[in-house]
């Protein structure tokens, strides 16, 4: 059986670094917004006992690929629980639209989609919370995509409070470079002492990203992109970059700015979502 599953993008509408832990990880507060745009993961599940990815990513080995890592961790844990069908296997194909290192959560979303989809296809019977715990072993953004709703994230990103946002339209522009999250978080100039605030205060104040100054200082392509967008709108960095976004009340307003951009920049317009399209598809498959 061949099934198709969405792996949506996310935006960080704000991102504040409130501290650094002894283990090197950072405490943060961020507002995750899902988008009606992303990658598509095709899965053919079978009884071969093997896992195969037909569309490897450049410079990413199979052991590093988050789809394969997610599939393996789910298979191993389901075996331990005795909930895995005999010789459960799968073949994956990824239609990649989200740029690597763009701050849109593509790899994390791919992993989350693999976990949710295989849990259904294999009948592994993990709860959403259990899937999120497995996902957290692979990346701090993955639980957000597994729960599948816009949320305030705290801790290292795993403490989630769902929040209904106005489903605005977003222009997202990619300057053609990949940025390593690790590089940004290790930068000595990164702000790490933004005061912790409660949700009401966070939502009432202007949204900012503590990583933006560091990224703009290191990566001149991002600085240039923001300067190009500034005359038309209020651009912000998502996550640790490199993508820059701006929000609008209408699709046409967002597209009018996209049409003005130089051809050197890649961009798209997408609607914000409060609920992940992954769960709309899951409900459709369950109803068949």
Binding-site residue positions for ATP: 99-109
Examine residue 277 and say whether the peptide bond preceding it is cis (omega within 30 degrees of 0): no
Q: 10, 27, 39, 210: which is the annotated catalytic residue?
A: 10
Query: Which tokens belong to 55?
Result: 């569309």
Strands (E), 47-124: 51-53, 89-95
Verify whether residue 10 is a known catalytic residue.
yes
Verify whether residue 186 is a known catalytic residue.
no
User: What is the C-alpha separation between 227 and 246, in angstroms, rounded?
Assistant: 13
User: What is the C-alpha separation between 97 and 269, in angstroms, rounded?
Assistant: 13
Query: Which tokens belong to 19?
Result: 């501290």
Measured in degrees and rounded to the nearest 5, phi and psi for residue 237 equal -80, 145
Known binding-site positions = 99-109
**Tokens 């969405």 sit on residue:** 6
Q: 4, 72, 96, 141: which is the annotated catalytic residue?
A: 141
User: What is the C-alpha separation between 3 and 90, in angstroms, rounded?
Assistant: 11
Contact 108, 142 (CB under 8 A): yes
Measured in degrees and rounded to the nearest 5, phi and psi for residue 142 equal -65, -40
From the CA atom positions of the chain, what is the Rg in Å? 19
Residue whose C-alpha is closest to residue 219's, from 257, 265, 183, 171: 183
User: What is the C-alpha separation between 103 and 100, in angstroms, rounded?
Assistant: 8
Q: Which residues are catalytic?
A: 10, 141
């Amino acid at each position: 059986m061949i099934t198709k599953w969405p792996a949506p993008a996310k935006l960080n509408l704000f991102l504040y670094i409130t501290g650094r832990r002894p283990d090197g990880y950072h405490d943060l507060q961020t507002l995750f917004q899902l988008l009606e745009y992303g990658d598509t993961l095709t899965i053919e599940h079978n009884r071969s006992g093997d896992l195969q990815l037909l569309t490897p990513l450049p410079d990413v080995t199979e052991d590093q690929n988050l789809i394969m890592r997610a599939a393996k961790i789910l298979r191993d844990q389901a075996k331990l629980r005795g909930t895995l069908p005999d010789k459960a296997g799968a073949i994956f194909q990824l239609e990649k639209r989200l740029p690597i290192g763009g701050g849109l959560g593509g790899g994390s979303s791919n992993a989350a989609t693999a976990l949710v989809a295989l849990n259904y296809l294999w009948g592994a019977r993990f709860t959403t919370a259990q899937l999120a715990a497995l996902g957290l072993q692979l990346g701090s953004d993955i639980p957000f995509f597994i729960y599948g709703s816009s949320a305030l994230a705290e801790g290292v990103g795993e403490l989630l409070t769902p929040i209904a946002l106005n489903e605005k339209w977003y222009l997202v522009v990619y300057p053609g470079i990949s940025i390593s999250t690790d590089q940004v978080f290790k930068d000595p100039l990164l702000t790490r002492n933004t005061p912790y605030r409660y949700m009401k205060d966070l939502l009432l104040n202007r949204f900012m990203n503590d990583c933006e100054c560091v990224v703009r200082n290191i990566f001149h392509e991002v600085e240039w992109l923001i300067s190009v967008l500034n005359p038309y709108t209020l651009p912000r960095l998502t996550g640790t970059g490199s993508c820059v976004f701006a929000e609008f009340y209408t699709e046409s307003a967002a597209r009018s700015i996209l049409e003005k951009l130089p051809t050197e920049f890649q961009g798209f317009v997408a609607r914000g979502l409060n609920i992940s399209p992954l769960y709309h598809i899951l409900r459709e498959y369950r109803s068949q």
